């Protein structure tokens, strides 16, 4: 059996879209959710495209600029169709986009947006973790969830060289990575030598 066959796959699965954190202009709320719609405005050959978001407190709509006065021919036709059809995949991609967040000065809150699907109960030596969404998650949080051990145990295993991570345990990952795990020390120490042939029992003399 090759190593690839034995590689386990864990998946960070999307359960919700991130919350957009930005002060509302109408109330003291800061949390916004995409309404699922775009607004496209044509002015001659120039287009404005907004992603519409709603304040979670007062429901006021906030138009998030996606494209501003962009020439219609510079926009991919499929993209324009997606905006005009309020395509859920386009809403999802833009709501999760760190560059759109940076451009418009808001923060994304990824709390409650994911869960971890662990495919095998016992980890094999190599585990590939795939990300369905770019949620930044501490590596040790994924490992405590996936391996069912404490954060202290994760750090001990890294220190002992039993767990090999591509980054520090408290670093945040947001895309696919692999780690390797050695068998626990107890089972590694067990099977070593074939059992010795039975020897006659020595009797204590006297
Ligand atoms: Zn509000």
Q: Divide the 206 residues of the chain into consecutive groups of 10 and give the mean pLDDT of each group.
A: 62 96 96 97 94 97 96 93 97 95 96 89 79 96 93 95 95 96 54 53 55
Distance 201 CA to ligand 1 centre (A): 85
Q: What is the pTM of this model?
A: 0.77
Q: What is the 177 CA–ligand 1 centroid distance (Å)? A: 39
Phi and psi, residue 15, nearest 5°? -115, -20
Q: State the pLDDT at residue 196.
A: 55
pLDDT at 35: 96
Task: Give distance in angstroms: CA of 18 to centre of ligand 1.
Answer: 17
Q: How far is the CA of 169 from the centre of ligand 1 (A)?
A: 38
| CA nearest neighbour of 139 among 6, 5, 7, 10 | 10
DSSP strands (E only) in the chain: 8-14, 19-21, 31-43, 46-55, 61-71, 107-109, 114-118, 126-131, 137-138, 163-164, 172-173, 177-181
pLDDT given for residue 51 in this prediction: 98
Distance from Cα 23 to the centre of ligand 1, integer Å: 8
């Amino acid at each position: 059996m090759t190593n690839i066959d034995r590689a386990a796959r864990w998946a960070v699965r999307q359960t919700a879209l991130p919350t957009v954190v930005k002060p509302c202009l109408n109330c003291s709320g800061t949390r916004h959710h995409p309404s699922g719609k775009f607004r496209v405005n044509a002015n001659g050959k120039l287009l404005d495209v907004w992603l519409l978001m709603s304040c979670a407190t007062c429901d006021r709509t906030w138009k998030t600029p996606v494209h501003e006065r962009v020439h219609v021919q510079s926009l991919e036709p499929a993209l324009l169709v997606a905006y005009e059809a309020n395509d859920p995949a386009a809403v999802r991609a833009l709501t999760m986009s760190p560059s759109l967040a940076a451009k418009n000065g808001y923060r994304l809150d990824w709390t409650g947006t994911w869960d971890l699907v662990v495919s095998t109960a016992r980890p094999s030596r190599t585990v590939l973790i795939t990300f369905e969404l770019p949620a930044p998650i501490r590596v040790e949080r994924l490992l405590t969830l996936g391996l069912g051990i404490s954060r202290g145990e994760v750090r001990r295993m890294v220190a002992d060289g039993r767990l090999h991570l591509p980054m520090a345990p408290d670093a945040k990952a947001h895309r696919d990575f692999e780690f390797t795990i050695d068998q626990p020390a107890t089972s590694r120490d067990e099977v070593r030598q074939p059992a010795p042939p039975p020897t006659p029992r020595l009797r204590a003399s006297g």
